[in-house]
Amino acid sequence: MKDLVKLIARYNELGIADVIDHGRFTLIAIDHHSTRLEGSTLTEVETQVLITEGRTPNGKPLEESLMVTDHHAALLFTLLNAKEKKSLTVSFLQQVNALVMKNTGKIYHTIFGVIDSATGAFRKGNVTAGVSYFPNFDKVERLTSDLLKKVNDEMRAPLTIAEQINLSFDAHFNLVSIHPYYDGNGRTSRLLMNYIQAYYHLPLAIVKSENKAAYIQALVDTRQQQNIQIFRDFMSGEYALLLELEIEKFEEMKNPSKGSGFSFLF
C-alpha cells in the first residue's frame, strides 16, 4: 500500500489528470473494461468512437452498444454526485443501477409482482453466480442501507490516502457481494468504488477485462476465506499497474528521448 500511495503522489505531481482529453479517455477506458467484464465485445476503439461520435460498430449486437452508452451515462452521473460531495443513499445507488440498465434491463416475474430491472429496483428472489450464493432477497434492502451508512460514516472521518483507497475497494466488494439487483451488480459496484475515489480526488481505478478470471477468483476467495485483504491486494495490484502505465506514458510524452519517441513510417 505504501508503494501505491507513492504512485498516486507521483501521478498527481506530474499533473497527468490535467492533460487535455486525459479525463475523457479515462472514462472511456472505464466504460470499455467494465462492460467487457459483463459480456460486451466492443473494442476500446469501438467504445471510443461510440462515446465520442455516437457511431455504433458494424457487426456487433445493438445491445452491447446500449450497454456501453448506458454505462457512460451512469459514470457521468456518479462522478457529478461525487464532485458535489453528495452523501451516499439507497436512492442514489438505485439511480446509478437504473442508468446502468436503462436500455438493457429485463422484466422479472416473481411471486411479489413484476420487477423491471431497468428501474433500479431491488431483486425479489434469491440468486447465485457460479459458486457464490448471495444473501436472501428479504435482507437486501437492509444490508445495502447498512453498507451505505457505514461508508458515509467512514467518509465523515479524516482518512489517510491508504484508508480512502481501501474504503473504495471494500465498498466495491461488499456491494457486489450483497448483489442487490437482478442485473448490473458488478458495474454498479465498480461505480460505487469510482464514486469514493472521485470524492477524494484520487485517480479512478479500472478492473481490466483481460483479468476477469483473476477478478472473479479474488471475489470468491475473499468470500470463502472471509478475508477482505485478498480483494484489497488484487485491486491494489490492478490500481498500481494502471498508475505505472499512465506515469510511464506521460513521462515518455514529455521526454521522447527516454522512450520510444516518434518515427516517420516512410
Q: Which residues of 13-36 are buried (b: 16+ CB within 10 A; e: fewer)?
A: eeebeeeeeeeeebbbbbbbbbbb
Q: Which residues pair with 114 in a beta bridge?
A: 109
105 is in an annotated binding site: no
Give the separation between CA 194 and CA 196, rounded to whole angstroms. 5
Number of helices and strands in the chain (H, E): 10, 4
What residue type is assigned to position 2 of the chain?
K
Active-site entry in 71, 72, 179, 201: 179
Residue 109 DSSP class:
E
Q: Are 178 and 63 in contact (CB under 8 A)?
A: no
Q: Is 179 a catalytic residue?
A: yes
47 is in an annotated binding site: no
Residue 132: strand, helix, or coil? strand
**Displacement of CA 33 from its chain's centroid (Å):** 9
For cell 442501507, name the residue: 145
Say if strands 128-129 and 113-116 run parallel, antiparallel, or are unpaired: unpaired
Q: Are 205 and 122 in contact (CB under 8 A)?
A: no
187 is in an annotated binding site: yes
24 is in an annotated binding site: no
What are 151's three cell numbers? Answer: 461508508
Q: Are 194 and 205 in contact (CB under 8 A)?
A: yes
70 is in an annotated binding site: no
What are 92's three cell numbers? Answer: 442514489
Residue 77: strand, helix, or coil? helix
**Displacement of CA 76 from its chain's centroid (Å):** 12
186 is in an annotated binding site: yes
Feature table: binding site for ATP: 183-190
> Annotated active-site positions, please?
179
